[in-house]
Structure 1
Amino acid sequence: MEDTFRWTLVTAVAPIAWGTNYFVTHEYLPAGHPLYGAVFRALPAGLLLLALARQLPHGVWWWRSLVLGICNMGAFFALIYLASQLLPVSLASTIMSAAPFTMALFAWGLLAERPTVLVLTGATAGIAGVVLLLGTGSAAVDLRGVAASGAALTMSSFGYVLAKKWGRADEGPVATTAWQLIAGGLVVIPFAVLVEGRPPHLGLPAVAGFVYVGIVATALAFTAWFAGLRRLPATTVGLIGLLNPVTGVLLGVLVSGDVLTLRQVGGLALILLGITFSQVRTTPPSPVARVGQLDVTE
């Protein structure tokens, strides 16, 4: 239980960092360039991690890195950027809050991780909490934004579970995260040139914003995320991801002077309750099963 709690804290670094990304993107990064934004976010972060890992892909990891890089990084970053432009943040975040369910489904099919009643209850409570926390508003819904959010949700959930399946006996999350980021960034470059033309001019605030996004919300966050995926059930990691909108709302309170309503406080409580449910283990693994688990994840 102590080991699970420790890796839960490590994994939580990712959604907390991603939650701050909303504010930085809105305030400092250039609008209208989702493809170049994905490139600027992925490539420098990937090169930084590669310098730390000092390992190039080998064997099957060349094509695996390409597949994972598209699902988890390049295409995902661009789709999220596009959705944030076409939809209110509340609606986009609410759609993405279905990740515990989609990850549970993919984990069931790819990893034979059958979701428990407690996990499903926690996921339901978490999504209800996100709805209460953010609200859905009454603005007109752009179906293109809904499609982008849905595609990002499905693609990333599949990619995360696939990364867990392939990463059970590899060189570690730093190296594999670096490979994914570089592959994802390189794939997006030709599309950015064709669709968006020349790269946007970056002033000092934008450069500082991309430095923060690259180091904290990408390199550090995804390394922590994939480290957690190696040691925790995918459904548990999906629920921890609900800390993303929580961070965004609390940052608004601290930075912008927003005031939490009673409904939002109730939403926060439901999200934290859902994450707590994901930590409960009704049936501890047998010693034999535990040894087998440690063999493939450590």
Structure 2
Amino acid sequence: MSRTTDILLTALAPAVWGSTYLVTTEALPAGYPVTMAALRALPAGLLLLAFTRCMPPRAWLGRTFLLGSLNFALFWVLLFVAAYRLPGGVAATLGALQAMMVILMARGWLGTPIRAGAIAAAAAGALGVALLLIGRDAALDSVGVAAGLGGAASMAAGTVLSRRWQPPVSALSFTAWQLTAGGLILLPFALILEPALPPLTTMNLAGLVWLGLIGAAASYALWFRGVARIEPGAVSMLGMMSPLTAVLLGWVVLGQSLSPLQGLGAAVVLGSVWMGQRANRPSAGIRPITKVVPTA
């Protein structure tokens, strides 16, 4: 399969994640962030485990729970904290710094060279997200900023380590392991920190099904498949499609306005994603990782 096809398939994941804000605000009960995160991860993970019938070997349990924490449990909780304490545009802009973090982490953990074009693309992408989302009334909160940066770092580390630790199983099984681990980590915190859920409506259940099956199981399987086949810096730039999709859905579905400045930001984001794919293209003779037999 060509690199272009791999990129397009991987880009579907953050495009789907862009629907999370719309579904969360319009279809889910408010005030249960950890519970909603657990219900998004654990049922989807268990369903995928039943489908793939592939359990992680004992040697992979530590890595699985670490990745499940970085990519899901810790990331989603910090994301909710940032969203509650910061304007959405500020939180999304901090999240967009993930691409820069991936480039630096990939250098240390994978030996990937740092290219000037990749740095420029990541910086341009963050600027584009800022133009797209930050309003004049944007305010900063120290806890919110720390959560936003922590969430970006958590997902960045999870992306790079998912590339480094490739088990000899399918992307669907790898996703099942991590989703289940992340959900198991979140479950006790949800039970302790939040009150019991009210009776769920049909709309609530539909929102959870979308976020679990499509927004978690299917999209993350595509994401981890891309992580294994595409350069980490290129994969991380595709994450810029998430805030862009969120804005477009707000415009189309909710009738929200789209200013000329936001239009410019959208163009900058798309340009940075394209530039990031070119700048992170591997040197001749280097092939993407597909399967690596784990070592102790």
* TM-score bin, normalised by smaller chain: over 0.9
Give the CA RMSD over aligned residues.
2.0
Partner deviation per Cα, 1:133-168 (whole Å, 9 max, x = no partner) = 11243244332222221211111111111111001x
Which of the two has greater helix per residue? 1
Q: Is contact 2:73-2:186 (8 Å) kept?
A: yes
Q: How many aligned positions are there?
A: 293
Q: Which residue of 2 aligns with 1:178?
A: 176
Residues in 2 aligned to 1:83 and 1:144: alpha-carbon distance in whole angstroms: 8
Q: 1:133 to 1:110 in 2, by over 3 A?
A: same
Spell out the pairing of 1:113-192 with structure 2 (5 A cutoff). 113-167=112-166, 169-192=167-190
Deviation at 1:118, TM superposition (A): 1.5
Q: Is contact 2:237-2:277 (8 Å) kept?
A: no
Letter in 2 for 1:192: A
Q: Extract unaligned runs of 5+ from structure 1.
A: none
Q: Is contact 2:231-2:281 (8 Å) kept?
A: no
Q: The residue matched to 2:283 in structure 1 has which SS? A: coil
Query: 2:240 pairs with 231, 239, 242, which one?
Result: 242
Deviation at 1:259, TM superposition (A): 3.3
Letter in 2 for 1:249: V
TM-score (norm 1): 0.92
Q: 1:214 to 1:285 in 2, by over 3 A?
A: same
Q: 1:204 to 1:107 in 2, by over 3 A?
A: same
Q: The residue matched to 1:8 in structure 2 has which SS? A: helix
Q: 1:297 to 1:125 in 2, by over 3 A?
A: farther
Deviation at 1:294, TM superposition (A): 5.8
Residues in 2 aligned to 1:146 and 1:137: alpha-carbon distance in whole angstroms: 17
| 1:79 maps to 2:78 | yes
Q: 1:44 to 1:261 in 2, by over 3 A?
A: same
Deviation larger for 62-71 or 129-138:
129-138
| 1:212 maps to 2:237 | no
Partner deviation per Cα, 1:189-223 (whole Å, 9 max, x = no partner) = 11112211424432221111111110111111111
Question: Percent same amino acid at aligned positions?
Answer: 37
Residues in 1 aligned to 2:247 and 2:186: alpha-carbon distance in whole angstroms: 30
Spell out the pairing of 1:1-298 with structure 2 (5 A cutoff). 3-167=2-166, 169-280=167-278, 285-287=283-285, 289-290=286-287, 293=288
Q: 1:119 to 1:201 in 2, by over 3 A?
A: same
Letter in 2 for 1:125: A
Q: 1:141 to 1:111 in 2, by over 3 A?
A: same
Q: 1:226 to 1:205 in 2, by over 3 A?
A: same
Letter in 1 for 2:238: I
Deviation at 1:51, TM superposition (A): 2.3
